[in-house]
């Protein structure tokens, strides 16, 4: 920790800040470690992603340039060491006491706008090491996931159908972009009506609509409703409105559902990657997550997942 503490103090000094208390470690997971400390400018957060998610550090250089209104501006970034120092983002949507659906209706159009801005930067995202989960790559990714979790025959039998889904998405007028891949209310800071999105360690380059897989699953779990409930449709439609110039509403809805079906494989693979990080006892807690996400391909609906936030 001494190297990180020294770096943190140096970066604070360069920003005109000073640490006023001890550094603590509230999060230590297979996919990354987070330290926090009080300073003269408020709490700060030093994130050290794991080897599979170190791309997040470079991402924090890109996001403030491309989407400055919707990303935290880091105090310091060290791509070589894989560290990023962030200011405190304030209150998350999950902790704000805001009505969940109303809050998502406010923030999801902003997230979609961020995705549209980032669509022109997929080459940079891939060069950072963000996983390539674009539709044309996903049949091979399906094979990778099936092998990684030793999937049963029912899942394996979906291979042909899954490839057809991917081909349909690959022909879409909706461009590939970033998919946060864990877009739930506690990964969104809310300042008035302005949303800022963070914790990008699960992010992939994919059909952007796959982002709604986790969001819809959280809404359903929180409200205890089905995927055709008006609350889920309201959240979905608020997100899709930003894409309405690209296709008629009915086609966008169908494409969103298809992207979420395809995105279940990406979720399985990202969990598998996280659990391959070494030296973390916490990995046992989540050991079955990759298999559960892949098994969600056998569920009844596009937004069915075994876990939300």
Closest alpha carbon to 284 in 30, 92, 91, 54: 30
Would you say 181 and 202 are in contact if contact means Cβ atoms under 8 Å apart? yes
Q: Which domains does the chain have, with CATH numbers?
A: 2-87 (3.30.200.20), 93-298 (3.90.1200)
Query: Would you state the pLDDT for residue 160?
Result: 97
Query: Would you state the pLDDT for residue 308?
Result: 41
Closest alpha carbon to 141 in 287, 270, 277: 270
| CA angle in degrees (0–180, nearest 5) for 193-195-201 | 165
Query: Would you state the pLDDT for residue 287?
Result: 80
Burial-class residue 280 by CB neighbours within 10 Å (0-12, 13-18, 19+). Answer: middle
Query: Would you state the pLDDT for residue 147?
Result: 94
Q: HSE-up of 292 (CA within 13 Å, CB side)?
A: 10
pTM of the model: 0.93
Give me the sheet containing 204-206, strands edge to edge. Answer: 131-133, 204-206, 177-179
Separation CA 262–CA 133 (nearest Å): 9
pLDDT beneath 70, residues of the chain: 1, 30, 277-285, 306-309
Residues 40-62 have pLDDT tens digits of: 999 999 999 988 899 999 999 99
Query: Would you state the pLDDT for residue 289?
Result: 87
Separation CA 235–CA 141 (nearest Å): 29
């Amino acid at each position: 920790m001494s190297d990180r503490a020294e770096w943190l103090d140096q970066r604070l000094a360069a920003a005109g800040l000073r640490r006023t208390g001890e550094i603590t470690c509230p999060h230590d997971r297979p996919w990354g470690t987070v330290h926090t400390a009080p300073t003269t400018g408020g709490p700060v957060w030093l994130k050290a992603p794991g080897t599979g998610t170190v791309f997040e550090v470079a991402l924090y250089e890109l996001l403030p340039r491309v989407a400055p209104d919707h990303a935290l501006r880091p105090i310091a970034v060290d791509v070589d060491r894989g560290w990023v120092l962030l200011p405190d983002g304030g209150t998350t949507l999950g902790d704000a006491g805001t009505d969940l659906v109303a809050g998502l209706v406010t923030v999801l159009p902003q997230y979609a706008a961020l995705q549209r801005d980032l669509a022109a930067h997929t080459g940079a995202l891939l060069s950072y090491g963000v996983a390539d989960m674009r539709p044309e790559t996903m049949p091979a990714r399906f094979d990778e996931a099936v092998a990684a979790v030793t999937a049963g025959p029912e899942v394996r039998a979906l291979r042909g159908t899954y490839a057809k889904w991917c081909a349909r998405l690959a022909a879409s007028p909706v461009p590939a972009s970033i998919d946060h891949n864990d877009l739930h209310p506690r990964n969104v800071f809310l300042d008035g009506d302005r949303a800022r999105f963070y914790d990008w360690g699960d992010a992939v380059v994919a059909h952007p609509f796959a982002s709604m897989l986790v969001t819809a699953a959280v809404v359903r779990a929180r409200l205890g409703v089905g995927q055709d409930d008006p609350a889920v449709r309201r959240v979905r439609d608020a997100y899709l409105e930003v894409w309405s110039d690209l296709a008629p509403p009915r086609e966008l809805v169908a494409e969103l559902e298809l992207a979420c079906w395809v995105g279940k494989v990406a979720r399985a693979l990202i969990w598998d990657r996280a659990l391959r990080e070494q030296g973390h006892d916490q990995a046992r807690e989540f050991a079955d997550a990759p298999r559960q996400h892949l098994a969600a391909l056998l569920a009844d609906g596009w937004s069915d997942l075994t876990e939300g936030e």
